[in-house]
Structure 1
Amino acid sequence: MGRLFFIALVNVGSYLVLRRLWPSLREGWRRQVFLGLAVLSVLAFALPIALGFGEHGVLPVVGLPLKLFSSGWIVAVGLVMLLGWPLALVRGRAARAREGLVPTLQVGTEGPTLVAAAPPVEVDMERRNLLTGMGRALPLLAAGTSSAGMVAGSSGFEVREIEVRLRGLPRALDGFRIGQITDVHVGTFIDTEYVRATVEVMNKAQVDLQVMTGDLIDDLTQLDATMAALEACRAPHGMLAVLGNHEHWRGLRAIREAYAASARRGSPVRLLVDESHVIEHAGQRVRVVGVDYPMGRTRSMRVKAERMRQSAEVAFRGTSAEEVVLCLTHHPDFFPFALERGARLTLSGHTHGGQVAILGMPLFRFAFDYMLGRYRRGDGQLYVSGGTGHWLPFRIGVPAEVSIFTLRADT
């Protein structure tokens, strides 16, 4: 229900902004069209719930196109609301000034009082026309941006080859290859065939180890088929996975049982929850540590650091100097804890890279300490993937990715 409330809120906010910037929207056919499309954007997600298809379900035939339309519409009206309110404030102040309604402070014998200012003698028509033109252009800009982002967000994933040079890496591990998927979000817009395609890409790349760093699935009705797709892994050391926040939110017990059932079948897929798994490659031991998502179902940032510290104490137990330690974590903020315990390479996801970047710089880089790409500190490195899927098919400058890492010794 939170999603429906958000959709309704963004529609209302955008409408209020457009009423100020585009006064003709207040009545006539423009108003009817806007309200009709706004209602349709809500119904696209409300009807599947009401008809028993579930939050992530789609109606037959028309369901997916409706949800795609709704997603694009919400992005567009969200942009209108975010970018338009400063213009609306300026336009409103200018209108009040023309009407003599901007108050001024006047000091008299009885103290200061607020009085209405006299109407200005002249109106800056050039400035007024500029504000009007910008207000009318904003919906077109928002619609164009939304369309471009939806096309990019629905265009699948790219394969990103990354060479990681680690000081003192044993010769046996020079050339060791790891394939990473993360934040797939199987659900409304991502199906199990998409997952199977990502696994097949890693198979063809002949990686030695495949990893999945959380937020695998949102729609539990697709859980069995999703696990079957992961089990197509043919890497010599299999696939190691960790949990993300969406596993905790969508159905942790069912997801953990699905991983356990997969392991009982002898599949190559193994889930790590505050534990480690040792593999031997060309005579060299590699310990892969996997930690749980720190906030669980609480969604409280206050417990994050303490939960990460607890996970680190448990998960890194038993590590030795003879091993090369790798760390898998959904949340990239675990990086300092992994470094303290000797992890040479930490792989994470969670942020999606903000899904929007301008000239390679994430637009929302302020939201996380580690937002996208590679980070180095001492002898350790962190890679934050932009995500393999999405929960909203909108990306600009941050394509979905399957990451292929090749370890190299840096002498």
Structure 2
Amino acid sequence: MYLFHLFVFAFYLYTVWRLIIPLPLSRYSRAFLAFVLLLITQYRWFQLWFFGSMFSPELPHNVVLILGGLFAGFSLLIMLTLLSDIVSLIGRIFSIHSLYWSTRKRVVIFLATIVLAIIGVQAAIRVPDVKRVEIPIKNLSQKLDGLTIVQLTDLHISHLFRDAWLNEVVQKTNQLNPDIILITGDFIDGEVSDRWSDIQAYKQLKAKYGVFGIMGNHEYYYHGEKWFKALGELGIEMLANEHRVIYPQGEPFVVAGLTDEAALRFKLPGPAIDKALADRPDNAITVLLAHRPQEVAEHIAKGVSLQLSGHTHGGMIIGFQQLVKFFNGGFVSGLYKVGEGWLYLSNGTGLWNGFPIRLGVPSEITLITLRHQ
């Protein structure tokens, strides 16, 4: 986390140097702008000192939305400034004076940042649409052709996404009448006592063969053992390096789930694929819930037919996706063929309150239909 803030501060200095200092304003006006930008970039320290958490401050919804939106806007400002520097460099190399930096371009960057941030925040906090995906599964019985799974992931219920939003997500999910509901982690941000009233709608999720879930990294930040128990009390069959066998159309079908590597930081069991798959029925189709996508090749090699993951939020912004992909094993969003199996990596149903923005990467409730191959 300290490294993250160091990078943010470095980008802050870069933005002040490239955008604010050259503005034709008084010294005091430029100092004021630089100070405001500093507060935006470092507000999480104030959250930690005064409101208990960097990840989920117990602040009113609108305050959380504004603070997160401002930080997301700062990230856009960095992107646009870097892009303008690259364009300006090209202009200098080829003596194209119209590509040089100017006061007008700096003002345009500020205005573009504001407009894009407003659009992106609105896109981030809406109830997601349903995304339909068909996946051909090797050796899937013809009896199971058409089996439907709804994947929810990264809902991050907090003071940003509260009970009303979750109620709408649950209603949309239930209207799909899925055979199975699978939730791949990051249900919440916050302690059980702070979130309990907001997450009661999870109890209303209905699927013919059950609702299953795993922990993401964020549950572990708030006493993971308590969250594992609490989510189970809401009717979700929580899996921790284990599996369950269900029998749709009388056919054995394995749903397995891993813990997240964040567990290791809290001296809890990390992901253990061999344990999760031990003693499953021979030749049964296996769907694995793994919050992060990185180890999918190993999982497929051990007999998993389909891995469902989240964590990346799809990259959130076109242009950020390559960076997010780099930190997630080359995966960022959508359906990937991996060996003899598949990875489906959802953009996420919600997202973390500290970076509430989506531009060109919509959130989703994913309806997956399995097909006989």
Same fold (TM over 0.5): yes
Q: Give the drift of 1:151.
A: 1.9
Give the structure 1 partner of residue 357 of structure 2.
394
Give the stretch that moved more between structures: 218-227 or 45-54. 45-54
CA contact (8 A) 2:127 2:169 kept: no
List gaps (5 residues or longer) in structure 1: 95-123, 300-306
- What CA deviation, in whole Å up to 9, does each residue of 1:170-206 have, x standing for no partner? 1221121111110111123111332332222221100
1: CA distance between counterparts of 2:166 and 2:278?
Answer: 32
Q: What's the offset of the Cα at 1:26?
A: 5.6
Structure label with greater radius of gyration: 1
C-alpha displacement at 1:231, in angstroms? Answer: 1.5
- 2:105 matched to which residue of 1? 134
Q: Is the 8 A contact 1:213 1:348 kept in 2?
A: yes
Evaluate the alpha carbon distance shift between residue 295 and residue 57 of structure 1 in structure 2; reply closer, same or farther with a 3 A threshold: closer
Q: Structure 1-normalised TM-score?
A: 0.76
- In the alignment, structure 1 residue 362 sits paired with structure 2 residue 321: yes
| Map of 1:164 onto structure 2 | 135
For the structure 1 residues 340 and 89, does the alpha-carbon distance in structure 2 shift closer, same or farther, using more than 3 Å as the test? closer
Percent sequence identity is: 23
Aligned to 1:116: none
- C-alpha distance in 2 between matches for 1:194 and 1:233: 14
Aligned to 2:153: 182
Distance in 1 separating the partners of 2:71 and 2:84: 20
Q: Paired residue for 1:289?
A: 256
Give the counterpart of 1:72 among 65, 69, 73. Answer: 69
1:261-297 CA distance string (max 9 Å, x none)? x1xxxx5311100000011111111111101113435
1:84 to 1:43, Cα distance in 2 relative to 1, 3 A: closer
Alignment match, 1:236:
208
Q: Does the 8 A contact of 1:41 with 1:69 survive in 2?
A: no
The CA distance in 2 between the partners of 1:46 and 1:385, in whole Å, is 30
- Kept after mapping to 2: 8 A contact 1:214/1:245: yes
AA in 2 matched with 1:84: T
Going from structure 1 to structure 2, the CA distance change for 1:394 and 1:144 (only over 3 Å counts) comes to same
Matches within 5 A, 1:249-288: 249-260=221-232, 262=233, 268-288=235-255
Q: CA deviation at 1:7?
A: 6.5
Asked whether the 8 Å contact 1:179–1:209 carries over to 2, the reply is: yes
Superposition RMSD in Å: 3.2
Note the C-alpha offset of 1:145.
Answer: 2.3
Q: Partners of 1:237 and 1:383 in 2: how far apart?
A: 20
Aligned to 1:146: 117
Work out whether 1:316 is the aligned partner of 2:256: no
Partner of residue 27, structure 1: 27
1:375 alignment partner AA: Y
1:248, distance to aligned residue in structure 2 (A): 1.9
Q: Which residue matches 1:245? A: 217
Q: Number of residues paired by the alignment?
A: 359
Cα offset, 1:314, TM superposition: 0.7
CA contact (8 A) 1:345 1:382 kept: yes
**Residue 343, structure 1, aligned to residue 314, structure 2:** no
Question: Are the structure 2 counterparts of residues 192 and 6 from structure 1 closer, same or farther at C-alpha, using a change threshold of 3 Å?
Answer: farther
CA positional deviation for 1:16: 2.7
1:247 and 1:325 map into 2 onto residues whose CA distance is: 25
1:286 aligned partner, one-letter code: F
- Of residues 34-43 and 249-258 in structure 1, the stretch that sits farther from structure 2 once superposed is 34-43
Q: Name the CA distance, whole Å, in 1 between partners of 2:169 and 2:98.
A: 53
Q: Select 1:329's aligned residue among 290, 293, 297.
A: 290
Amino acid at match of 1:291: L
Task: Tell me the amino acid that sits aligned with residue 24 of structure 2.
Answer: S
**Contact 1:227/1:258 (CA < 8 Å) preserved in 2?**
no
Structure 1 or 2: more strand by fraction: 1
| Partner AA of 1:404 in structure 2 | L
How does the TM-score come out when normalised to structure 2? 0.84
How far does residue 321 in structure 1 lie from its aligned partner after superposition? Answer: 2.7
Partner-residue secondary structure (3-state), 1:165: strand
Which residue type is aligned with residue 16 of structure 2?
A: Y
Q: Unpaired segments of 5 or more residues in structure 2?
A: none
Distance 1:224 1:87 in 2: 46
Offset, 1:5? 7.2
**1:200 corresponds to:** 171
Greater relative CO (CA pairs within 8 A, separation 6+): 2
